[in-house]
Amino acid sequence: MMTTASLPSSSDAPAELADQRILVTGSTRGIGRAIAAELLARGATVAIHGRSNVTEVAAELGESCHPLTADLDSAGSGREVVEQAADALGGLDGLVNNAGGGEAIAFRGLELDRWRTTFRLNLEAAFEASQAAYLVMRRERRGSILNVASLAAHGAGGLMGADYAAAKAGLVSLTKSLAIEAARFGIRCNAVSPGFIETDMTSDLPDKQRQGLGIPMRRLGLPEEIATTVSFLMSKRASYVTGQVIHIDGGLWLGG
């Protein structure tokens, strides 16, 4: 049986993000919700985003949380959600592109429409949101953009499929390209690449299959373990960090 882990509470976390206004896309559940909760615990004002149930989640997370309901499937929607967040928060200091998803389909059965849908959600919407946020942040000559990629971005799609892996690889490349251009304006852009995390997407994995994943730390990660790294990268403690992609995978990438 794989081991489990627990994290200390964030209730006593320092308010190092007290002056930050941050949008987290795809943040009503899983990794996105954990990121929003961590940023709020560290004093940020956070706009959360999702397709449904957003108002209820915002109420649960607290008064410094602002709900935005939007579907990122259509062209321009990534830009629009950033504009809405900037209006609601009175500006924007940070963006976390977490919205994404996929469903494994064998390469031989992957159709172009499905490929495009996966790219739309995982890459194009993040591009639109990043570009819109970048233009806002340039006026202030400061800000931080964080992209949630995936371990799949750095190799074969495996359980997530070729379309998902290719889209996330594009997100990694986008991260580095923006980091180069934005640095002279005081704007940083980084990414995290989670491995297998305890979310809805992995909840049905039987224990035998979990053991067969070959994770050196012998367990799946927790959403909160992604959130704490994201919080660091969004903070002034990471003020000289840009263009980096941090693997959070229990050592799985070490085995190639």
Looking at residue 254, what is its pLDDT? Answer: 85
CA separation for the pair 108, 68 (Å, rounded): 38
Any idea which residue has 């373990």 for tokens? 225
Looking at residue 169, what is its pLDDT? Answer: 97
- Which amino acid type is present at position 1? M
Q: Is 164 a catalytic residue?
A: yes
Decide if pLDDT at 13 tops 70: no
Mean pLDDT of all residues in 75-91: 96
CA separation for the pair 180, 158 (Å, rounded): 30
- Taking a C-beta distance cutoff of 8 angstroms, is the pair 119, 65 a contact? no
Render pLDDT for 166-189 as a digit per residue (tens, 0 to 9).
999 999 999 999 999 999 999 999
Render pLDDT for 132-151 as a digit per residue (tens, 0 to 9).
999 999 999 999 999 999 99
Looking at residue 199, what is its pLDDT? Answer: 72
CA separation for the pair 234, 112 (Å, rounded): 36
Decide if pLDDT at 43 tops 70: yes
163 or 200, greater pLDDT: 163
Question: pLDDT band at residue 64, thresholds of 50, 70 and 90?
Answer: very high
Looking at residue 5, what is its pLDDT? Answer: 66
Looking at residue 4, what is its pLDDT? Answer: 62
Decide if pLDDT at 1 tops 60: no
Our CA angle for 109, 114, 117, nearest 5°, is 165
Please give the C-alpha separations between residue 12 and each of 15, 41, 205, in angstroms, as whole numbers.
Answer: 9, 8, 34
Mean pLDDT of all residues in 21-47: 97
The closest alpha carbon to 68, from 76, 226, 189, 78, belongs to 78
Q: What is the mean pLDDT of the chain?
A: 91
Q: Contacts by 212-219 with C-beta closer than 8 Å and gap 24+?
A: 213/252, 214/252, 214/255, 215/2, 215/249, 215/250, 215/251, 215/252, 216/250, 216/251, 216/252, 216/254, 216/255, 217/3, 217/250, 217/251, 218/2, 218/3, 218/250, 219/2, 219/3, 219/4, 219/5, 219/250
How many Cα neighbours within 13 Å face the side chain of 144?
23
Looking at residue 102, what is its pLDDT? Answer: 83
Q: Give me the CATH topology for the region 21-103+110-255.
A: Rossmann fold (3.40.50)
Looking at residue 7, what is its pLDDT? Answer: 61
Looking at residue 72, what is its pLDDT? Answer: 93
Q: 164, 188, 227, 235: which one is catalytic?
A: 164
- Taking a C-beta distance cutoff of 8 angstroms, is the pair 188, 241 a contact? yes
Decide if pLDDT at 41 tops 90: yes
- Taking a C-beta distance cutoff of 8 angstroms, is the pair 230, 192 a contact? yes
Looking at residue 215, what is its pLDDT? Answer: 85
Whether this model's pTM surpasses 0.75: yes
Beta strand segments in the chain, E: 21-24, 45-50, 65-69, 94-97, 143-148, 187-194, 245-248
Domain borders along the chain are 21-103+110-255
Looking at residue 212, what is its pLDDT? Answer: 65
- Taking a C-beta distance cutoff of 8 angstroms, is the pair 226, 199 a contact? no
